[in-house]
Amino acid sequence: MKIILPIAAALLLTTAAGAQTPGKEGVAAARTTNGVANWTTYNADLKGSRYSPLDQINPENFKDLEIAWRFKTDILGSRPEYKLESTPLAVDGVIYTTGGTRRAVVALNGATGELLWQYAMHEGKRSAESPRALSGRGLSYWTDGTRRRILYVTIGYRLVSLDADTGRPDPEFGTNGVVDLKTDYDQDLGDLDTGEVGVHSAPAVSGDTIIIGAAFREGFTPKTHNNTKGYVRAFDVRTGKRMWTFHTVPKKGEFGYETWLNNSADVNGNTGVWTQVSVDEDLGLAYLAVESPTSDFFGGKRPGPNLFGNSLVAVDLKTGERRWHFQLIHHEIWDLDNSSAPLLMDVTVDGKPRKVVGLPSKQGFFYVFDRATGQPVWPIKETKVAKGNVPGEWYSPTQPIPSKPPVYARNGVEEKDLIDFTPDMKKKALELTSKYVLGPVYTPPIVSTPEKFGVINNWAQGGTNWPGGSFDPESGIAYVYACGACISSTGLLPPPAGLSDIPLVVGVAGQPVVMIKGPGEGAGADSPAPAAAPGSGNAGPPRLAVDGLPLVKPPYGTISAIDVNNGTIKWQVAHGETPDFVRNHPVIKAMGGIPRTGQSTYQIGTLVTKGLVVAGENQFTRTEDRPRGAMLRAYDKQTGKEVGAVFMPSTQSGSPMTYMVNGKQYIIVPTSGGNASGEFLAYALPSKR
């Protein structure tokens, strides 16, 4: 392992006072308390709001925004990164963020984008074998008023504490500033280089407590169901000493163990917390949105409801003791893992103030609970669902369905969802889907056959994914992006010998099962079915499209304003320009056009300010009044009316944030994708000349 020291050791910065090294001096020069508004955690605060009260950028002038500075991440690794998802922090005029294929940490001047220091760790094989590579989602900041620290997790699953002024590791933390998260884990990972666990989310830091989750490979056929368990741990922010561990898969004798029938908790894994952790510091509770157990679409090796899989769990911040939980899906077999940070909101329900936690989901359900007790604010009824016939599978007869708020995104794929621009298109859609199973959200997977390839669904990629939602603490309204056209088909087949010890894995009848990226957290939307293997004699299933258009009708992507005071949807808009291939399609042109469809993606996060909801596009389009590119759009947060849009040279790939320095408000958008490598764009209003 080789540590690259901060560039402060090698570069000189010329100032009016003369030549000096950056690092502490450079950061000190950039730091200011003059006209400053900070963004000190990944989600702006530990409640997950992604909210700022700033209003210098407002509905009247948003359209006037210009790029004030930009920072390219190509140098932060051995090659450019095309999946930049990090949200920066802003602390007293200094920007801190991760970036690049090395997951480097950089400090930038918030007014100019100038690089102040850089830190990166070379982890060799351990990085190459990591299930969660690239720059990750971000980092965390801590201060006791004297010491200031930046904390993040490396690609190889090490927790690092850096001096925020110099970028140098804190010698009092762990071993020379580093804690190896693959050790002291209540389980044996075997070889530390290849032991499968990592994380891409930012640590949650509250007081002197750091909380770290765990993540695994995205959408791959697991080698074994008995893989790493995704335990959640807390560490002391000053020393790096482990404080507690919460067993997301209960050990024998612990609460929930009996929900894994046949002692199957002993021989199954995953069940991690890969999204952000939210914290109520007044109640002393941390909220864990736990993902599904191994494997995504077949659970025969883990009969039973499988606590704490697909549960929202509130644990004591100091001890990790479970205070309450609610399982959102019993025995999950749809890859509908909890993907979003819990939103901790203070609202008024039936005339009474309530402290609630809301959780957006891939299902398009917005679950709402009392955050002290875990009691649903509105009834969540155990509802009978279809039982499948996959050999060896265990099925839950019911699933919890919220009564309020109403579903805000496509909730399954049924005949009513199919494209119907013309009768001929609807006929073709019905012909295509005759080779598949359609149904509501909890339609069970099937074994793939030449007669029925699989289930067409929006399980893995639909609804709200890792960017989660945001909310306005003044009004109690949550703003949530959802993908409506992120569909795929899923069938099950036995794996070939040696591929996996799971009896049934994702596959298509007549085609070989291989270890390929499937419809997981990071898979693309409306992706074509796999092509047939050469010489297989099987043409394979058709692409899920009709005459080159998406199989399902618009909207393809939406932003919804959910009023958590009364459980209603205040407004919903299609977010994103209609894709070029749709807008320019001969049938659409012959119809005289259609309303804006929005765009299908899983990568859109929202930012809320005093008067705006801000979100960018994730696809390039070209219109008559601008060149090919993407737009950063702003909506009136009360009505949903678009009040401004500015051009982006690349597409949004992480969630935007905002801050102020020297009395000037900036909005930073992480961008990447296609031919564009990672870059942070900082927008501001034009300076007066």
Model confidence pLDDT, tens digit, residues 410-433: 999 999 999 999 999 999 999 999
* Lowest pLDDT segment from 27-36, 90-99, 207-216, 262-271: 27-36
pLDDT of residue 507: 93
Q: What is the pLDDT of residue 662?
A: 96
Please state the separation of Cα 244 from the chain's center in Å.
25
pLDDT category of residue 16 using cuts at 50, 70 and 90: very low
Residue 426 is inside which H or E element, if any? helix 423-433
| pLDDT tens digits along 542-587 | 889 999 999 999 999 999 999 999 999 999 999 999 999 999 999 9
Measure Cα distances from 192 to 66, 124, 283, 631 in Å: 47, 12, 37, 43
Question: What number of other Cβ atoms are within 10 A of residue 568's Cβ?
Answer: 12
In the prediction, which pLDDT does 511 show?
Answer: 87
Amino acid 540: pLDDT: 65
pLDDT at residue 624, as a whole number: 87
The answer, yes or no, to whether the previous bond of 308 is cis (omega within 30 of 0) is yes
Q: What average pLDDT does this structure show over 281-302?
A: 97
Residues in the chain: 689
pLDDT at 5: 45
Predicted pLDDT of residue 671? 98
CB atoms under 10 Å from CB of 115, counted, come to 18
Average pLDDT for 272-298: 97
Q: Which residues contact 318 (CB under 8 A, 6 or more apart)?
A: 209, 243, 244, 284
For residue 23, what pLDDT is reported?
Answer: 67
Structure tokens at 51: 């909210």
CA–CA separation, 364 vs 620, rounded Å?
26
Rounded distance between C-alpha atoms, residue 468 and residue 275, angstroms: 9
Pairing state of beta strands 94-99 and 104-109? antiparallel
For residue range 586-634, what is the model confidence (pLDDT) as tens digits?
A: 999 999 999 999 999 999 999 999 999 999 999 999 988 889 999 999 9
Which residue would you say has higher pLDDT here, 529 or 635?
A: 635
CA angle (360, 363, 366) in 5-degree steps: 30
pLDDT(254) > 90: yes
% of the chain surpassing 70 pLDDT? 93
The yes-or-no verdict on residue 526 having pLDDT over 60 is: no
pLDDT at position 515, please? 55
What does the pLDDT read at residue 523?
Answer: 35
More confident residue, 217 or 279: 279
